Each structure stands twice: as structure tokens, then as C-alpha cells.
Structure 1
Amino acid sequence: MSNELLEKPIEYEVNGEEVKLTGNMVKQFLVSGNETVTDQEIVMFLQLAKYQKLNPFLKEVYLVKFKGKPAQNIVAKEAFMKRAENHPQYNGLKAGIIVQRGDELVKLTGAVSLPTDKLIGGWAKVYRKDRPEPAEIEIELREFTKGQATWNQMPKNMIRKTAIVNALREAFPETLGAMYTEDDKLPIQDSG
């Protein structure tokens, strides 16, 4: 049964393009990290990609596994943005960072702050045509940063991006509710 799952292709359509994947293709070309994925993890990845209509060849979804950690199916922020922009009720977004400036918390648009500001978190508002109020998210940096290189090099952009993804998921739970990026999912691996 295991070989059949790895060799038999699954086929689905993404934005008018046919995607054909096998477990062996995933195993050989689409896994990141330094650990071998299990057949079960590959099947879960294939089903997520098919069900959510994500194209791993366009880097819309990744399968990542590191030594001693469970595999993670990670969806790119661009996939969230494409889904939102294609939704008939999408009506734009605003996002930025939250900084401590002196004794005050200040919400800034974008990801630019004064050198004396202390980064506290990120915020995002996603507007829908069919709702009077936007989906609004404010998140705290210390709950999401993992000390990874990207977070260390560009924490303002990363926390802003994470706030956007969380707000998009809240605004469009029917199309984005089960998808997570590497940065907005609180991973199990942080405990080890």
C-alpha cells in the first residue's frame, strides 16, 4: 500500500493549471530540512495541496522537516494573498507594526520605525464588502519570534506579515482557516 501511495499521481487544478504530484516527487524534490519524511507525512502534504488547491512548484506550499521534529506543511503568504484577492468580498487591507515610543504604544503603518522605538508587535485589518467592521488583529512579537535568522534580520517585516496572515485567516475562515505559514503557526518544535 505504501508504494502505491508514493507512486500513484494525484491530479488537481490550480488557477487553470493542472498539477500532477506523486509522493516520490514530493520526497525527492519538494521537501526542505534535514530529516527524512514518513509516508504518512507525504500523504498529508499531498492531501493538503490537493484540498487547498496549492501548487508546490510555485512555492505556495512547503513540506519541511528537521531532525527530531514533526514535519510541517507550510503555506506561503502569497497563497493567502491570492486567495483573499480572488474572493468576491475582499476589500483590501492595512497593516503595520506596534512600537513602544517612550511610555506610549504607537501603531505605525508599514514596517518603518524610529531607531529609538522598541518593536512590540504587529497589526492588520482586512476589509470585506459584506461586513461593517474589518477583521482586526494585533499580535505580540515575543509570541511569534523563534530566533531564526529571518526574524533576527527583519523582525518588523516578519511580525507585520504574520499579522496580515492571521487577519486574512480570520476574515476568510472558509478558504484560509486550515492553512498556516511557518511564522504564524506556533510550532510544536519550540518546546524542544
Structure 2
Amino acid sequence: MNPYVKDAHLVKYKANSPATMVVGKDFYTKTAASNPTFDGMEAGISVIGTDGSFHRREGSMLMPGEQLVGGWAKVHVKGRSVPSFDEVGFNEYAGKKYDGSLNQQWASKPATMIRKCAVVHALREAFPANFAGLYDSAEMGIGPEEIPAATAQQTAAEQEQAYEETF
């Protein structure tokens, strides 16, 4: 993993707690795509439509009047008769600030964020040897824009302060 291309980030949630490593979604998709057994992926969102019924849709387009309830992904692996499928609930993963409101990424792009969580889940199940124990920033409730950019000149304390100010 290369932190300079945002494959991974160190994130401190509180000043007195240790940093947590989170992995960017692109690391998962790049690694899966380079696996010779990877045979494609489908992913989308789960919604309650305006007619009150449950629907799965590819992509992350949420239509007016629909209720976003989750995301799903299906990973096809050569040599397996059944693809790896996972579906995750919005309320379980939606990133929130300390006051309980949705953070910036989840408030402005909820369908994109929940789809990312589902993709990472399905890839982790399809390729456990590659991804066991790794978690994406979306699963941790944060978006890439909310991770402060660190420069070589920043001290650890300055990086921590920049992150704290983000929330």
C-alpha cells in the first residue's frame, strides 16, 4: 500500500487515542483487478421506491422520492460457480459527526458512499487472502476529502490538529 497515492490513511478519531489505518477503495479495486481470477463486478444501491417496494439498482443514482436503504455488490471470480455477494445497510455505515448528523461526504453523496462500502465488503469476501482485516474509509464513516492532507513539514501534533478541525 502506498499512502502517497491514497491507498491508505492514518486517522485519529480522538486526540488521546491511537491512529487507525484505513484503506482507500481504489486499493481494493486495483488489487482485485490485478488478480488473475477476478472476473468482473456489479454494484449498486438498494432503495425503497416511490411505490413502496424494494429495488436494487446498478450504479449510485438515487431518484427523487426514493429512500436509500443500502448498497450491494457482486464480485465474479473465475472458477467459482457462485459470485460473492454482499449487501450493506445505510444506517449501519453512514458516517456521522460527533453531534450525530451525517458528515459532509455522507450528507452530500449518500448513494456513492454506501455503494463503496458494499464494493469493499464483497471484494473482501471474494479475496480474503488479499483483504482480510483491512477497512475502507467509507466503512469507518469518513470520506477522502475529510482526511487532512499531511505534508512532510507537518508535525504529528499539527496533523492531529488538522484532523480534529475537520470534525
Give the TM bin, normalised by the shorter chain.
0.7 to 0.9
User: Aligned ranges for residues 76-155 of structure 1 at < 5 Å?
Assistant: 76-101=24-49, 102-146=51-95, 147-155=102-110
Counterpart contact for 2:39–2:77, Cα < 8 Å: yes
Q: Distance in 2 between matches of 1:186 and 1:55?
A: 21
Task: Note the aligned Cα RMSD (angstroms).
Answer: 1.6
- The yes-or-no answer on 1:59 pairing with 2:6 is yes
Q: CA deviation at 1:89?
A: 0.5
Query: Which segments of 5 or more consecutive residues in structure 1 lack a partner in the other structure?
Result: 1-53, 188-192
Q: CA deviation at 1:120?
A: 0.6
Instruction: Give % identity.
Output: 36
Query: Which segments of 5 or more consecutive residues in structure 2 lack a partner in the other structure?
Result: 96-101, 143-167
Q: TM-score, normalised by structure 1?
A: 0.66
Q: Could you list the runs of 4 or more consecutive aligned residues of structure 1 that deviate by over 6 angstroms after TM superposition?
A: none
Counterpart contact for 1:166–1:184, Cα < 8 Å: no
> Given the alignment, which residue of 164, 184, 189 partners 2:139?
184
Q: Deviations over 1:19-64 (max 9, x none)?
A: xxxxxxxxxxxxxxxxxxxxxxxxxxxxxxxxxxx11111111111
Q: Distance in 2 between matches of 1:153 and 1:114?
A: 14
Q: CA deviation at 1:186?
A: 7.5
Counterpart contact for 2:94–2:141, Cα < 8 Å: no
Structure with more contact order per residue of length (Cα contacts < 8 Å, sep ≥ 6)? 2
Tell which structure's C-alpha radius of gyration is larger: 1
Q: Which has the higher helix share?
A: 1
Aligned-partner residue type, residue 128 of structure 2? P
Q: How many residues align?
A: 134
Counterpart contact for 1:95–1:163, Cα < 8 Å: yes
Aligned-partner residue type, residue 4 of structure 2? F
Query: What SS class does the counterpart of residue 93 from structure 1 fall into?
Result: strand
Q: Distance in 2 between matches of 1:57 and 1:120?
A: 34
Q: Which has the higher strand share?
A: 1
Q: TM-score, normalised by structure 2?
A: 0.76
Query: What SS class does the counterpart of residue 84 from structure 1 fall into?
Result: helix
Counterpart contact for 2:7–2:23, Cα < 8 Å: yes
Q: CA deviation at 1:185?
A: 4.3
